[in-house]
Amino acid sequence: MKFETTPAFDKDVRRLKREHLQRFLDVLKTKFVPACDAHAIDPASPWPQSLRVKSVQGAPGILEMTWSFASPDGRATFEFVTVEGDVRLRWRRVGDHDVFKRP
């Protein structure tokens, strides 16, 4: 599956502390990307429970995942989009709980 980002996500990434960005990237590599690949094959396949993937309340089509429960809490929002017939995952925001103000 292909991934893309929004300008807000790119800005959020630049604000993350180095250790928080590294934790996010580690979770992507070890848990999220494999689960995303499985989801691309079978959309009914479950997400890892440890990521707590669920719909963002009041934001249709946008999902959230938790990548850290430690300080600060690590959250990211994303959505699936279709571009020229290909389904892609678009990262929308990343950071702490504040990402839900404008998911």
Quote the CA–CA distance of 29 and 44 in Å, as a whole number.
Answer: 21
Q: What long-range pairs does 37-43 form, CB within 8 A, spacing at least 24? A: 37/1, 39/1, 40/1, 40/87
pLDDT digits (tens, 9 = 90+) for 63-72: 999 988 876 7
What's the chain's average pLDDT? 91
pLDDT value at residue 1 = 84
Query: Is the pLDDT score of 27 beyond 90?
Result: yes
**pLDDT class of 13 with cuts at 50, 70, 90:** very high
**pLDDT class of 29 with cuts at 50, 70, 90:** very high
Intra-chain end-to-end CA distance of the chain, in Å: 22
More confident residue, 76 or 98: 76
